[in-house]
Amino acid sequence: MLGGTQFLGRAVVTAALARGHEVTLLHRGEHEPPSGARVLRADRTRPDGLAVLADGVWDLVVDTWSGDPAVVRRSTDALRDRAGHYTFVSSRSVYAWPAADGADESAPLVEAAPDDDPDDYAWSKRAAETAVLAVFGHRALLVRAGLLIGPHENSGRLSWWLSRIGRGGVVAAPGPADLDLQHVDARDLASWLLTAADRGMSGAVDGVGPPGSCTMGELLEACVAVTGASAELRWLEPEHLLAEGVTPWTDLPIWMPPGPEHAAVHRGAAALAAHAGLRLRPLTQTVADTWAWMSGPDGSRLQAGGLPPEVERRLLETAPPRPATDTPAAVLPITRSSSPSGLTLPSGVSGCSPDGRGRA
């Protein structure tokens, strides 16, 4: 495991150990790894960072890197003759933005940049995919993750909503409440990718649950239930939020208003992963487990983000009265030239890694 101390990477290590696998974990030593793995400390962004792997042989390598794609090139070169299979956790951000409603793995990809640009999340992921395929070919699995949530999340998505709702009071809930979402619990994706790699699966697969796996209302109501907070969800119209300058996905995590960008994020086909056995645990379990983790010592170190309290107050104070009857959600335009950075983990407006190393 390259990385493996946070979020999805940690879930992969934990799942592999539970299956009885011998796990070697290479990381920089910034976070405590799961117990039971053989730990190698090195910084693979350095030219000599992979020297510690010189004598090993592995059945499977799992890599969640999202920064400079040169790091993945060095990793694949170093492991080409010493690893049977290479699974790279990529992102659905690699599809040309915005991906069409119902897009699958055949959708157009982002155009390659002439030079490596580690600040371009989508292109960095795509360049890393290319590097993996160039070396491992049919021995490579590209898992293009969608919205990841669950314990050990450090991206400020579900964890932000739980934290906000846990404080109680009137909560600015981005509508409509029946807006469909598409997600995957990191633990479910971790277990699935281990099985897929063990079976020798190759090529690109969108690693996310089915579209419509839950709604915005179901997600936030579950947060209210597990926190036990005296929180009131006040649903605000998308038009009001956008007019007040709210940035979807960043200011209000997970939420994208109805329209092409919502479809790009939350309506991928995901049929291939489902056919290959990816299943989601109940949303209520994911939310409850995340809240339990947040209530412990690790969860107390979550990074801040999301809507500032003073902005939330303004949104609530200036919200127009809700209509007497519900009407179909309008399709709203959003000015954006690329996908919301890092569908597999945002922090602010920058991409964030599946294993949670900030950019990874």
pLDDT digit string, tens, across residues 295-314: 988 776 665 689 999 999 99
Give the pair of three-digit tokens for residue 19.
Answer: 């299956």
Element housing 24 (H / E): strand 24-27
Q: What is the pLDDT of residue 305?
A: 81
Give the pair of three-digit tokens for residue 97.
Answer: 């933005």
- The rounded mean pLDDT for the chain is 89
Q: By mean pLDDT, which of 58-67, 230-239, 259-268, 338-347 is the weakest?
A: 338-347
C-alpha to C-alpha distances, 59 to 194, 268, 301, nearest whole angstrom: 11, 31, 34
Say whether pLDDT at 91 is over 90.
yes
Segment 143-163 shows an average pLDDT of: 95
Q: What is the pLDDT of residue 119?
A: 77
What are the tens digits of pLDDT across the range 35-58?
A: 999 999 999 999 889 999 988 999
* Residue 138 CA to its chain's centroid (Å): 25
Segment 323-338 shows an average pLDDT of: 53
